[in-house]
Amino acid sequence: MKLGTIVQNLQQTAILRGADGRARTLAAVCEAAGTLPLHDVLSLVRMTGALPELLERLRETVDRVPGFALDDADWSAPLPNPSKILGVAFNNRELMKKAHRDPGVPNYFLKPPSALLGHGKPVVVDPDWGAVIPEPELCAVIGRRCRHVTERRALKSVFGYLIHNDVTSHGLKFRKDAIAVTYDRDMARPEFYEWRNRSGPEDTDAYYVYHTRSKGTDTFGPMGPWITTRDEVADPNDLHVLGTLDGETFTVDHTGSYRFSVENCIAEASRYFTLEPGDLISFGTTGKGAGRFPRGHKSLLMGVSRGRVAIYIEPRGGLYNPIKHQTGGACGRRRLLGPLGISLESPWTRP
């Protein structure tokens, strides 16, 4: 089953997709199924963690409810209010070839929910931000609260999967989110340098990089349009990934290229973070190029390029977002906010 969120009358509305491709509101399907009334995806995720049979009742009911077309839908991120979004850096064997040392465990970063963006809405980039690139990724929605989950049971903690474009600005990262320091010899501990090559014991430089602006700027988290429930994904480590710019392929890869499997990433994360229902974990970008994009997503500079970035992961369909150039990015001008913080004069209006 597929779930999403659209904006109707300035209100975020959860929807389910029927076999005919048309949408039904979650509230209408719940009413027809005789279940507790639910109006948003996060509430459904939380409820199905406690009552797994609820999802089956909705699946049996959805096609009995009249549907509506989505041709002019105003999409939100499918789950717009997670408690946290985790990303996995360099989780691709091709990208790991450039590393000084293989860390042996997934490297994580956090992305703020305010970066989330719906299908069809523009990623807003200031050309002065330098290298801003798309990163096509598979993302999981956690379905139940868990800590110290084993790899063997990790996939059972997943509610569903969706597409994520983990937009990243290397320009912002190195200009504004990074700092280098030189430690005094008595303060230079061995673990400060295990991750990189050193020129010798006199090399006591340390580099601090914080993925804040570089990953968390407004509109840098396109997701959707649908969450596909776990039962429809036989193996998340066996999915094809395709990225295009105006129909021209810039990357073709496979989730089998992950350095760390989906279940390994979930299990390792749960050793440090309590994973809550609705939390999102994005498993890493593609590493292979295509055509005039020899380095794949790294060859597509969004501050220079124009057009529509599309990401496809079987069987979740496609996530489309045009590129928009604007001084200061999405926060570059004052916006009048309506209910739920939805902009009434927004740079995210439909293209």
* pLDDT tens per residue across span 131-148: 999 999 999 999 999 999
Delimit the domains of the chain by residue range: 2-64, 85-168+212-341, 178-209
pLDDT of residue 119: 98
**DSSP3 helix / strand / coil % (the chain, rounded to 5):** 25, 30, 45
As a whole number of angstroms, the distance between CA 147 and CA 274 comes to: 5
- What is the homologous superfamily of the domain 85-168+212-341 according to CATH? Fumarylacetoacetase-like, C-terminal domain (3.90.850.10)
C-alpha span between 330 and 267 (Å, rounded): 35
Q: How far apart are CA 77 and CA 111, in angstroms?
A: 14
Establish whether the linkage from the previous residue to 225 is cis, with ω within 30° of 0.
yes
pLDDT tens figures, 67-80: 999 999 999 999 99
Under-50 pLDDT residues of the chain: 334, 336-337, 339, 344-351
Helix (H, G, I), strand (E, B) or coil at 199: coil
- 58 Ramachandran zone, left/alpha/beta (phi>0; psi -120 to 50): alpha
| The three-state (H, E, C) secondary structure of 19-55, written as one string | CCCCEEEHHHHHHHHCCCCCCCHHHHHHHHHHCCHHH
Quote the pLDDT of residue 340.
53
In this prediction, residue 342 carries a pLDDT of 54
Q: Is the pTM of this model over 0.85?
A: yes
**Which letter does DSSP use for residue 170 in this model?**
H
Tokens of 189: 């501990």
**Cα–Cα nearest to 85, from 169, 167, 13:** 167
Rounded CA-CA distance 21/25 in Å is 13
CA pair distance 17, 251, nearest whole angstrom: 29
Is the omega angle on the peptide bond into residue 315 within 30 degrees of 0, that is, cis? yes
At residue 176, the pLDDT reads 94
What span, in angstroms and rounded, lies between the C-alpha atoms of 46 and 145? Answer: 9
